[in-house]
C-alpha cells in the first residue's frame, strides 16, 4: 500500500481491504500509470477527511446493518425538484407530506447546473459542483439531505457520468483548442474514424438526434455525441477523466446523497469496431467506483441505470465477493405491465416475472409503474411469437390502445420518437391517464371512473407485491393526470415526455383528505397498501417468490413465503370479473379486510386484486393479530 502516506487508521483499514484489487484493476485499465493511481488514492483520502461527522455516523450505522435497504420498509418517490416544490428549500418544507405518503427515499431528478434549452432535462451538466441556481445551491442540497436523514429518509441523485454539456469548462477549453481538454473527449480531425464507429454503434435517438458524432466548428474537429449534439461523450480511457469524475461523485456523496444513480453507465467505454455498449471495461470502472465509495462513504449505494431485461442486467450487480451496483432498475417488468394493461393477457408478464423470481435474492431491483421517461416496448417478442404476435404490429396495437386511438380504450397517452418507417414509437403519459381516469373525468362517467381507479390501485398493489424497492412517481399517489400545457412551451413542445412531467398540483393534493374524491381514494388506498407491506415480513426481499398458475390468462398469480408467512396475490388485468382457479389448502385471510377468505376458486372483480395470507407459526388470524 502507498508507503509514507499519513492516512488516518480508519482510512488505512478500508484501503487495506481494497488496495490490491483496486491497484490491479486501475493498472490494467490505465497501462500501469502509477502517478494517476497515486493521485486517485490521495483524492479518496481528501474526500474521506472532508466527510462530515454526521455522515460518518450514518456510514457506521449502515456498515453495522449492510442490508438496510433490502427489507420491506423502503418506499421511494421520484420527483423533479422544480415541479414538486419549486426549489430545494421547497422540497425540505414538504418533508411532512412525504412522510404522510409513507415515503422514506426520495429520488431527485438531475438538478446540477445545465444550460436552459440544451440540457435534456438536466442530463447535460455544465458544472458538477453547482446546483442549478433556479433550484438552489449545493449547500441547500446538503441542508435538505440533513433534514431528511433526521427523519430517517434517504436521498438519491443522478450522476451523469457518460458526458458533459458543451458548456462545461472542459468543453469550452477543448473548443479553444487546448489538447489536454480535447483529450478528455473524443475529438477527430476528420470523419474517417467517426464513420467507422457509425458502422457498428446504434443510434440512441435516430429521429431527434441521428448519428453519434457532431462537427465542432470552434475546434474544427468532429466530437463524439452519442445522445445529443450538446452532450459530449467523456473519454474514460484518459485516467484524468475517471479521477475527476469520481471526485465529482464523491463530492455529491459528501453533500448527503445516499444513493448515486449512475446514468447511462453501459455507454461509458468506447472501442472502435464494437457497439460501445456494456464493454468489459465498464464493469472495471464501476467496480473501482464501488470500492471508492466503500473507502470514503460506505453508507452510499450505487444504482445502475441499465435498460435491459433482468437476466442481462445481472452482470452490473457484480458478484458477492466483488460487487458493482447494489441496485438496478426492473425496466422490463414496467413495460410488460403496460403491455398487460393493453392486452388483458398476463402470459408475457407471468413469463417475465418468473425469470425475475428465479434470480438470486441478493439482487435488489427498483420497481416502478411510471417514471420521468417514456415507455419503450422492448418486450420478449420471441416469447410472444409463439402466440402469433409479430413485433411491429404488436407495438402499433399497444400504442394505439394506450393513446386511446382504439375506440374501446379509455387510456390517454402520447407517442414519443415516432418512427413511421420502422413502425416503432415509445409512449408517454401518467399512470392515472393511462388507466382511463382522465377520460372518465372528462366524460363525467362514474362507472368508467370506478374502473380506472380500480386499475390504478390494482397496479400499485402489484408494484408493492414485487421483491425490491417500490418507487412512486410524484403525483401518482393522488392520481395526477397528464399536463398538456407543454405543447405551448417552445422549450418543451418537441419532447412529449413533458406530458407526464407537469408541476405537482398542491391544490389537488389537498383533496387527498376527502374520501369521495379521486385524489382521496387513491391516496388512502396506496397508503393502506404501503402500511400492510411494512407490517408483514412476507414482503421482505429475502422471501421466496414464485408464479402461481391461475388457469386464467387474465389473472396473474404470485406466491410469497418468509418466516412462516405465506401469501397468495392475485391480479385481474381484465375489465370483466374473473376467477383464479387456484386451490391452496391452508386457511387464508384477506389482508385488506382481515376476514377469512379461502384461496380456492377466488373470484376477482374487473381490475381488482386479492392479497391473501396464512401463517404456519401463528394460531388464528395472522392479519388481525397485527
Grid cell listed for 593 = 379486510
Phi, psi of 624 (to 5 degrees): -65, -25
Phi, psi of 473 (to 5 degrees): -95, 130
Contacts (Cβ under 8 Å, ≥6 apart) of 393: 423
Dihedral angle sign, alpha carbons of residues 575, 581, 582, 588: positive
Instruction: Tell me the DSSP string of 212-259.
Output: SEEEETTTTEEEE-SS-TTEEEB-TTSHHHHHHHHHHHHHHHTTT--E
**Alpha carbon distance, N-terminus to C-terminus of the chain:** 53
Instruction: Tell me the DSSP string of 147-187.
Output: HHHHTT-EEEEEEE-SEEETTSHHHHHHHTT-HHHHTTB-E
- List 424's β-bridge partners, or say none: 419
In 330-483, DSSP assigns E strands to: 364-368, 414-419, 424-428, 469-473
Per-residue DSSP letter, 545: E
Residue whose C-alpha is closest to residue 558's, from 549, 566, 569: 569
Report, in this order, helix, strand and coil percent for the chain, each rounded to 5: 40, 20, 40
Catalytic residue among 305, 424, 438, 483: 305
Per DSSP, helices labelled H in 232-369 are 239-253, 280-296, 310-313, 331-343, 347-357
Q: Cell 426492473 maps to which residue?
A: 330
**What Å distances lie between residue 545 and 342, 466, 478, 557, 604, CA to CA?**
25, 8, 29, 11, 21
Judge whether 374 counts as a catalytic residue.
no
Helix (H, G, I), strand (E, B) or coil at 511: helix
- List 56's β-bridge partners, or say none: none
Dihedral angle sign, alpha carbons of residues 441, 442, 445, 448: negative
Judge whether 519 counts as a catalytic residue.
no
Catalytic residue among 263, 294, 476, 495: 263
- Give the span between the Cα atoms of 117 and 245, in whole angstroms: 24
**What Å distances lie between residue 537 and 70, 472, 598, CA to CA?**
12, 21, 21
Dihedral angle sign, alpha carbons of residues 23, 27, 30, 35: positive
Give the active site residues.
263, 305
Amino acid at each position: 500500500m502507498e508507503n509514507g502516506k499519513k492516512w488516518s487508521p480508519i482510512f488505512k483499514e478500508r484501503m487495506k481491504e481494497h488496495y490490491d484489487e483496486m491497484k490491479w484493476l486501475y493498472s490494467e485499465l490505465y497501462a500501469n500509470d502509477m502517478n494517476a493511481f497515486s493521485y486517485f488514492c490521495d483524492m479518496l483520502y481528501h474526500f474521506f477527511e472532508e466527510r462530515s461527522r454526521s455522515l460518518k455516523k450514518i456510514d457506521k450505522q449502515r456498515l453495522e446493518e449492510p442490508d438496510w435497504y433490502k427489507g420491506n420498509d423502503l418506499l421511494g418517490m421520484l420527483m423533479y425538484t422544480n415541479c414538486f416544490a419549486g426549489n430545494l428549500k421547497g422540497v425540505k418544507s414538504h418533508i411532512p407530506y412525504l412522510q404522510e405518503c409513507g415515503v422514506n427515499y426520495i429520488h431527485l431528478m438531475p438538478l446540477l447546473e445545465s444550460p436552459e434549452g440544451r440540457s435534456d432535462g438536466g442530463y447535460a451538466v455544465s458544472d458538477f459542483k453547482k446546483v442549478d441556481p433556479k433550484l438552489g445551491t449545493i449547500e441547500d442540497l446538503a441542508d435538505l439531505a440533513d433534514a431528511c436523514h433526521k427523519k430517517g429518509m434517504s436521498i438519491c441523485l443522478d450522476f451523469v457520468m457518460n458526458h458533459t454539456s458543451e458548456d462545461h469548462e472542459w468543453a469550452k477549453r477543448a473548443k479553444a483548442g487546448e489538447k489536454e481538454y480535447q483529450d478528455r473527449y473524443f475529438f477527430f480531425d476528420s470523419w474517417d474514424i467517426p464513420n467507422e464507429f457509425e458502422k457498428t454503434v446504434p443510434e440512441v435517438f435516430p429521429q431527434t438526434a441521428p448519428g453519434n458524432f457532431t462537427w465542432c466548428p470552434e475546434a474544427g474537429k468532429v466530437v463524439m455525441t452519442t445522445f445529443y449534439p450538446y452532450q459530449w461523450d467523456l473519454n474514460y480511457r484518459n485516467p484524468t477523466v475517471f479521477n475527476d469524475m469520481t471526485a465529482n461523485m464523491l463530492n455529491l456523496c459528501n453533500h448527503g446523497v445516499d444513493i448515486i444513480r449512475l446514468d447511462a453507465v453501459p455507454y461509458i467505454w468506447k472501442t472502435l469496431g464494437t457497439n460501445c455498449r456494456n464493454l468489459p471495461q465498464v464493469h472495471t470502472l464501476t467496480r473501482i467506483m464501488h470500492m471508492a465509495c466503500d473507502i470514503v462513504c460506505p453508507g452510499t449505494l450505487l444504482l445502475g441505470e441499465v435498460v435491459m431485461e433482468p437476466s442481462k442486467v445481472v452482470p452490473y450487480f457484480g458478484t458477492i465477493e466483488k460487487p458493482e451496483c447494489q441496485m438496478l432498475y426492473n425496466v422490463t417488468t414496467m413495460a410488460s405491465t403496460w403491455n398487460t394493461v393493453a392486452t388483458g393477457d398476463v402470459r408475457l408478464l407471468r413469463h417475465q416475472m418468473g425469470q425475475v423470481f428465479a434470480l438470486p435474492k441478493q439482487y435488489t431491483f427498483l420497481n416502478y409503474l411510471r417514471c420521468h421517461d417514456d415507455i419503450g416496448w422492448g418486450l420478449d417478442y420471441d416469447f410472444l411469437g409463439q402466440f402469433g404476435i409479430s413485433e411491429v404490429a404488436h407495438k402499433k396495437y399497444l400504442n394505439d390502445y394506450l393513446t386511446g386511438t382504439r375506440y374501446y380504450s379509455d387510456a390517454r397517452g402520447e407517442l414519443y420518437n415516432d418512427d413511421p418507417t420502422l413502425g416503432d414509437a415509445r409512449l408517454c403519459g401518467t399512470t392515472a391517464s393511462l388507466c382511463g381516469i382522465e377520460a372518465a373525468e372528462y366524460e363525467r362517467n362514474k362507472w368508467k371512473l370506478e374502473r380506472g381507479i380500480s386499475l390504478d390501485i390494482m397496479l400499485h398493489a402489484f408494484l408493492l407485491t414485487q421483491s425490491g424497492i417500490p418507487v412512486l412517481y410524484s403525483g401518482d399517489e393522488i392520481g395526477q393526470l397528464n399536463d398538456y400545457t407543454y405543447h405551448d412551451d417552445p422549450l418543451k413542445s418537441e419532447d412529449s415526455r413533458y406530458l407526464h412531467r407537469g408541476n405537482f398540483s398542491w391544490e389537488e393534493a389537498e383533496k387527498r383528505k376527502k374520501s369521495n374524491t379521486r385524489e382521496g381514494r387513491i391516496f388512502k388506498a396506496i397508503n393502506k397498501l404501503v402500511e400492510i407491506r411494512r407490517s408483514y415480513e412476507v414482503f421482505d426481499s429475502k422471501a421466496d417468490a414464485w408464479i402461481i398458475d391461475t388457469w386464467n390468462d387474465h389473472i396473474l398469480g404470485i406466491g410469497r413465503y418468509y418466516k412462516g408467512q405465506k401469501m397468495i396475490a392475485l391480479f385481474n388485468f381484465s375489465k370483466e370479473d374473473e376467477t383464479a382457479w387456484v386451490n391452496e389448502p391452508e386457511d387464508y385471510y384477506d389482508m385488506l379486510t382481515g376476514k377469512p377468505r379461502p384461496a380456492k376458486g377466488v373470484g376477482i372483480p374487473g381490475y381488482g386484486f386479492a392479497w391473501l395470507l396464512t401463517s404456519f407459526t401463528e394460531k388464528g388470524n395472522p392479519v388481525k393479530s397485527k
